[in-house]
A and B are shown apart, each in its own frame.
Chain A
Amino acid sequence: MCPDPAHHINRARELAQERHLRVSLNEQLAANRIDVYVLNARELTDVWVKAQKAGGKADSEIESQYERITGFTLGAIRDHTGTVSSSIVLAKLGADMHRSGALFGTYRVIQRQGKNFIVLSGYAGLRRYLTAPVYGVGNPKVIKMGIGQAAAKGALKSGAVLTLILSPAVRTLEWLFTDELKTMEAMLAHIATDIAKGFITAGAAYFTAGVVPAALSALGFSVVAVIPVFAGIVVAIGAGLVLNWVDNSLGLTEKLTDALIQHKESWVKAMEENKRSIDQVRREANYYFGSTRGGLDFIRRFTGSGGW
């Protein structure tokens, strides 16, 4: 069967864009502080509006410009966004903001669990518009990452702590660019176990590097100063590998992922039940206090003549 050339061209274009994004992200990681944000259509709209207001534009002007760019009114997007409309808003608004060049360097529209998001790496200026109401800390789909040379140098000074900083960054990038194949729960579980392993390994390394000189001086030995450091490194390697092996053998990360998924599902279920209960209360309140017949019914039940 002859392969479809258009499909190959599109795929090649996607791969080239992705490569470009990776390269530029890597460059920024190496050179600057970088923030990676994940926003939905409503959040991106809020950021865009704030940026326009900061530029001194009037509300009416902003609304008409928004409609011209996206084809939707501001109110429609803020109140309700479907899958199609949000993907259009994210793509068009992202392109417009990227063209202006002032807010962020790279962006990509992704789909996770049927919802559209824009992933963008921002300059420092972008942080001004991502304030708490737009970009809540409690928002589970928001991921922020800050790495810079200063942070990396500080981490290098403290040895094994580097893992603790790099792991979330690497795993976040991995999650963002692997096309819907990884769940957020798996990513969080991996970060959690990485950090736990990192702490234990770093502790073992520091402890050994601290104990060895004490032992040497207690014994009256005088060895090369680098030996305690070497001992710390080799113990860190061993402890890290043993912990990795334990994790792989017992499937701790996998179990944590399952637990997170179950927790999320039970939370969603509880929220739905709460919503149903609230809806029922609201319906009953509307009936009993919003209509004459309901009012009479309420009085009848309240006085006990009808039963509740």
Chain B
Amino acid sequence: MATINDSRPPINRPVALWTGVVLSVIGIGLTALSIWILWLNHRAYVEAIQAGVPILLEDTGITALYLAPMAYLGLALLGMCGIIVAIRGKGFVKSVGGKLNRAVTLLIVVGLFGALFGSYVANKLWAENFQNHGYSECSQPFLMTGKWFTAVWVDSVSLCDDRRVLKLFGAGKHVSYINTFIEESRH
């Protein structure tokens, strides 16, 4: 029980516990998902390049997940602090609380701005990589695919204006189906 002279503020244990659990789940969950998705995405790009697919769709939004986990870890840290405080039944001393506070703020701010800036840099690097493997970028990806945050890379620029390809995209066909169609028509 906090004494009258204690500088630590009173703690609402149930609120601290539940908000702590929720924030930890969000933070750790999104961090794990980000890493898993980025790993799968990398693998998909490598496989597509090795297979030499005619059309490769790049998810230009997902690159924000390279640095966004910093912010998610900030949320997770905040959540864990909540759980610890709920278990202990008393808050952190001012000096420790201040440090944790700064750490959480720093992680969230750096994570947010890092996600945006990191996405820009990562997209440039991926673009360079695709170009080095002989792919060219189509100029109107949204009109082709109808998907947000998607770049269309093709092994032949004529595919960007190919009406059969545009029609298949327009009919909502998956890119794997379109690639099979192009490969069959080339043989």
Answer whether A and B are interacting partners.
Answer: yes
In the complex, how many angstroms separate the beta carbon of A201 from the nearest chain B beta carbon? 12
Q: Closest CB of chain B to A179's CB: distance in Å?
A: 9
What chain B residues lie within 8 Å of A223 (beta carbons)?
101, 104-105
Contacts of A233 in B (CB 8 A): 112
A219→B57 CA distance, assembly (Å): 45
Residues A238 and B59 in contact in the complex (CB < 8 Å), given A223-B104, A230-B112? no
A234 touches B23 (CB 8 A): no
Would you give the 0/1 interface string for A200-240, flagging 1 where the beta carbon is closer than 8 Å to chain B?
Answer: 00001000100110111011111110010011011101111
Let me know if A242 is at the binding interface, CB within 8 A: yes
Please give the number of chain B residues whose Cβ is less than 8 angstroms from any Cβ of chain A in the complex.
62
Is A185 within 8 A of B101, CB to CB?
no
- Of A34-42, A92-100, A146-154, A252-260, the stretch lying at the interface with chain B is A252-260
Once A and B bind, how many residue pairs between them come within 8 Å at the CB atom? 154
Q: Are B105 and A208 closer than 8 Å at their CB atoms?
A: no
Residues of chain A lying within 8 A (CB to CB) of residue B26: 204, 208, 235
Q: Which A residues from 164 to 180 make CB contacts under 8 A with B?
A: 171, 174, 178
Q: Which residues of chain B have C-beta atoms less than 8 A from A218's C-beta?
A: 11-12, 15-16, 19, 82, 85
Contact B41 A186 (CB under 8 A): no
Evaluate contact between B167 and A181: CB separation under 8 angstroms.
Answer: yes
Number of interface residues of A (CB under 8 A): 49
A111 located at the interface, meaning its Cβ lies under 8 Å from any Cβ of chain B in the complex: no
**Chain B, 74-115, contact with A by CB distance < 8 Å: what is the 0/1 string?**
110011011001000001100001001100110011011001
The answer to whether B172 and A189 touch across the interface, beta carbons within 8 angstroms, is yes
Known: A238-B34, A241-B61. A219 touches B142 (CB 8 A): no
Q: Is the CB of B71 within 8 A of A234?
A: yes
Minimum CB–CB distance for A243 against chain B, Å = 11
6 residue pairs from A and B, CB less than 8 Å apart:
A194-B148, A212-B75, A219-B82, A238-B64, A242-B37, A245-B41
Please name the 10 residue pairs, one residue from A and one from B, whose CB atoms are nearest each other, closest first: A257-B172, A220-B9, A182-B170, A186-B172, A215-B19, A218-B16, A181-B170, A234-B71, A220-B91, A218-B15
Q: Which residues of B contact A (CB under 8 A)?
A: 8-12, 15-16, 19-20, 22-23, 26, 30, 33-34, 37, 40-41, 57, 59, 61-62, 64-65, 68, 71-72, 74-75, 78-79, 81-82, 85, 91-92, 97, 100-101, 104-105, 108-109, 111-112, 115, 142-143, 146-150, 163, 166-167, 169-174
